[in-house]
């Protein structure tokens, strides 16, 4: 009997193997999504309403379940920190391959950094104190609150931050033009406005 049905049995065994492989491949992503959700819950990396960055994705978490996470995209790379109007849904399996950055403190205050290229050949170094003084004038109304909030973040995160004071330094570009690097710790909703005011100074 076995000899007669051997070829059919072999084909049936190969079919079962193919089905088993297909099931494993199909269920792998489901298992990774499920365990990714458990990993997120156990590490408490973020909650609904917080800002996160996962790879190139950045936004506010609006929904999270066992399989996927949905965020409202935020323009972090452009430095406006505004909602783009796009909603992004990604599988929880991404948590195993991509670091998750919790940016929730940026909802109120942010380290806003930008560069200003100056074509003139004048030496900018003697002007640094006066530029800082004018930047301080623009930041005076929130500086005290920013300092306290900066300290709160340091205690909560257990890290040393650069501080709440404005900071600038001068370098040159590859073409030899002077470039002023500016870093402000400011209210997130005012970052773009303050950048424009600083650009007016130069």
Q: Are 111 and 184 in contact (CB under 8 A)?
A: yes
Convert the pLDDT of each residue in 96-119 to its tens digit: 888 888 888 888 999 999 998 887
The three-state secondary structure class of 101 is strand
Question: Maximum distance among all alpha carbons in the chain?
Answer: 98
Q: Are 148 and 82 in contact (CB under 8 A)?
A: no
pLDDT-derived band at 146 (thresholds 50, 70, 90) equals very high
DSSP string, 18-54: HHHHHHHHHHHHHHHHHHHHHHHHHHT---TT-EEEE
Domains of the chain, each with CATH number or no CATH: 2-104 (2.30.30.60), 108-201 (3.30.70)
pLDDT-derived band at 123 (thresholds 50, 70, 90) equals confident
Convert the pLDDT of each residue in 52-70 to its tens digit: 999 889 999 999 888 899 9
Sheet holding 109-118, edge to edge: 109-118, 178-187, 167-172
Q: What is the pTM of this model?
A: 0.74
């Amino acid at each position: 009997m076995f000899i007669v049905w051997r070829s059919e049995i072999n084909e049936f065994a190969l079919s079962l193997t193919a089905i088993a492989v297909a099931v494993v491949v199909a269920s792998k992503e489901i298992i990774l999504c499920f365990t990714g959700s458990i990993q997120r819950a156990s590490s408490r990396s973020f909650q609904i309403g917080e800002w996160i960055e996962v790879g190139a994705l950045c936004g506010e978490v609006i929904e999270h379940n066992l399989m996927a996470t949905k965020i409202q995209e935020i323009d972090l790379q452009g430095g406006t920190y505004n909602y783009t109007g796009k909603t992004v849904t990604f599988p929880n399996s991404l948590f195993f391959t991509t670091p998750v950055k919790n940016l929730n403190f940026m909802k109120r205050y942010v380290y806003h950094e930008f560069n200003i290229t100056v074509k003139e050949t004048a030496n900018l170094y003697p002007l640094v104190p006066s530029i800082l003084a004018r930047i301080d004038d623009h930041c005076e109304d929130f500086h005290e609150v920013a300092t306290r909030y900066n300290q709160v973040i340091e205690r909560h995160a257990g890290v040393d931050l650069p501080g709440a004071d404005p900071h600038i330094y001068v370098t040159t570009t590859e073409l030899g033009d002077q470039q002023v690097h500016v870093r402000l710790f400011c209210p997130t909703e005012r970052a773009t406005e303050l950048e424009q005011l600083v650009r007016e100074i130069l």
